[in-house]
Structure 1
Amino acid sequence: MSLVQRTAAKWVSMCLVMVLFLTVWGGANRASAFTTANADTAMTSFVTTFYDASAKYFYTNSDHQIQAAHAYGPNGGLYTDFWWEAQLWETVMDAYQRTGISTYRTMIDDIYTGFNAKYTNMVANQFNDDLGWWALACLRAYEITGTQEYLNRGSFLFDHVYASWDTSYYGGGIWWRSDAQNPATSTNAQKNMATNAPMVMTAIKLKNAYNNASYLTKAQQIYSWIQTKLVNGSKVNDHMEGTGAGIVKDWDFTYNYGTYLGAATALYMATGTASYLTDANNAANYVINKMTSATTLLYEGENDAPGFKMVFARNLNQLRVQASQSQYLNFLQQNATQAWNHRRTSDGIIGSDWTAPTGSSYVQSLAAAAGASILQLAPADNYTGNIAGNGVYEAENARRTLVSGSGMINESTQTGFNGRGYVAGWNTNGTTIDFYVNQNTAGTKTITFRYAAAAGNASRYVNVNGVDVAANLTFNGTSNWSTWNTVSLTVSLAAGSNTIRLGFASSKGNTNYLNIDQLSGL
Structure 2
Amino acid sequence: MMRLSKKLTGLCLSLIMVSMLLVSFPFTANKANAFTTANADTAMSAFVSTFYDSSAKYFYTNSDHAIHAEHAHGPNAGLYTDFWWEAQLWETVMDAYQRTGSATYRTMIDDIYTGFNLKYTNMTDNQFNDDLGWWALACLRAYEITGTVEYLNRGSFLFDTVYASWSTTNYGGGIWWRRDATNPASSTNAQKNMATNAPMIMAAIKLKNAYSNSAYLTKAQQIYTWTKSTLVNGSKVNDHIEGTGTGLVKDWDFTYNYGTFLGAALALYQDTSTASYLTDANSAANYVIDKMTSATSLLYEGENDAPGFKMIFARNLNQLRVQASQSQYLSFLQSNATQAWNHRRTTDNIIGNDWLKPTGTTYVQSLAAAAGVSILQFVPADAYTGNIAGNGVYEAENARRTLVSSLGMVNESTNTGYNGRGYVAGWNTNATSIDFYVNQNSASTKTVTFRYSAAAGNASRYVKVNGVFVANNLSFTGTANWTTWNTVTVSVPLNAGSNTIQLGFDSSKSNSNYLNVDRLSGL
1:7 to 1:190, Cα distance in 2 relative to 1, 3 A: farther
Q: Render the CA deviation track for 1:153-183: whole Å, top value 9, x for unaligned.
A: 0000000000000000000000000000010
**Residue in 2 aligned with 1:20?**
none
Q: Render the CA deviation track for 1:44-64: whole Å, top value 9, x for unaligned.
A: 111000000000000000000
Distance in 1, matches of 2:368 and 2:8, equals 16
1:26 to 1:365, Cα distance in 2 relative to 1, 3 A: closer
Distance in 1, matches of 2:6 and 2:276, equals 36
Larger displacement relative to structure 2 (505-514 or 458-467):
505-514
- The CA RMSD over aligned residues, in Å, is 1.1
Distance in 2, matches of 1:445 and 1:38, equals 32
What is the one-letter code of the residue matched to 2:285?
Answer: A
1:378 to 1:404, Cα distance in 2 relative to 1, 3 A: closer
**Residue in 2 aligned with 1:346?**
347
Structure 1 residue 318, shift from structure 2 partner: 0.5
**Residue in 1 aligned with 2:234?**
233
Identity %: 80
**Residue in 2 aligned with 1:389?**
390
What is the one-letter code of the residue matched to 2:401?
Answer: R
| 2:277 paired with 1:269 | no
TM-score (norm. length: structure 1): 0.96
**Residue in 2 aligned with 1:9?**
11
Larger displacement relative to structure 2 (500-509 or 473-482):
500-509
**Residue in 2 aligned with 1:430?**
431
What is the one-letter code of the residue matched to 2:7?
Answer: Q
Structure 1 residue 346, shift from structure 2 partner: 1.0
Distance in 2, matches of 1:509 and 1:234, equals 39
Q: 3-state DSSP class of the match of 1:405?
A: helix
Any residues of structure 2 matched to 1:291-302 within 5 Å, and which? 291-302=292-303
Q: 3-state DSSP class of the match of 2:407?
A: coil
Is the Cα–Cα contact under 8 Å of residues 27 and 499 in structure 2 kept in the other structure?
A: no
1:470 to 1:363, Cα distance in 2 relative to 1, 3 A: same
Q: Render the CA deviation track for 1:196-240: whole Å, top value 9, x for unaligned.
A: 000000000000000000000000000000011000000000000
Q: 3-state DSSP class of the match of 2:244?
A: coil
Aligned pairs, how many? 509
**Residue in 1 aligned with 2:224?**
223
What is the one-letter code of the residue matched to 1:187?
Answer: T
Q: Render the CA deviation track for 1:120-151: whole Å, top value 9, x for unaligned.
A: 00000000000000000000000000000000
Greater RCO between the two (CA within 8 Å, min separation 6)? 2
Distance in 2, matches of 1:6 and 1:90, equals 26
Q: 3-state DSSP class of the match of 1:327?
A: helix
**Residue in 2 aligned with 1:197?**
198
**Residue in 1 aligned with 2:170?**
169
Instruction: Give unpaired runs (5+ residues) of structure 2.
Output: 15-25
Instruction: Give unpaired runs (5+ residues) of structure 1.
Output: 12-24
**Residue in 1 aligned with 2:186?**
185
**Residue in 1 aligned with 2:19?**
none
**Residue in 2 aligned with 1:421?**
422
Distance in 1, matches of 2:132 and 2:196, equals 9
Distance in 1, matches of 2:443 and 2:54, equals 44
**Residue in 2 aligned with 1:210?**
211
Is the Cα–Cα contact under 8 Å of residues 423 and 515 in structure 1 kept in the other structure?
A: yes
What is the one-letter code of the residue matched to 1:5?
Answer: K
1:7 to 1:211, Cα distance in 2 relative to 1, 3 A: farther
Distance in 1, matches of 2:466 and 2:29, equals 9
Is the Cα–Cα contact under 8 Å of residues 27 and 466 in structure 2 kept in the other structure?
A: no
Is the Cα–Cα contact under 8 Å of residues 259 and 312 in structure 2 kept in the other structure?
A: yes
Is the Cα–Cα contact under 8 Å of residues 198 and 260 in structure 2 kept in the other structure?
A: yes
**Residue in 2 aligned with 1:489?**
490
**Residue in 1 aligned with 2:31?**
30
**Residue in 1 aligned with 2:471?**
470
Q: Render the CA deviation track for 1:17-74: whole Å, top value 9, x for unaligned.
A: xxxxxxxx98211211101100110111110000000000000000000000001100
Q: Render the CA deviation track for 1:84-111: whole Å, top value 9, x for unaligned.
A: 0000000000000001011000000000
1:238 to 1:509, Cα distance in 2 relative to 1, 3 A: closer
Structure 1 residue 4, shift from structure 2 partner: 3.9
Distance in 1, matches of 2:494 and 2:512, equals 27
Any residues of structure 2 matched to 1:241-320 within 5 Å, and which? 241-320=242-321
Distance in 2, matches of 1:26 and 1:260, equals 37
Q: Render the CA deviation track for 1:381-416: whole Å, top value 9, x for unaligned.
A: 000000000000000000001157322100001000
TM-score (norm. length: structure 2): 0.96
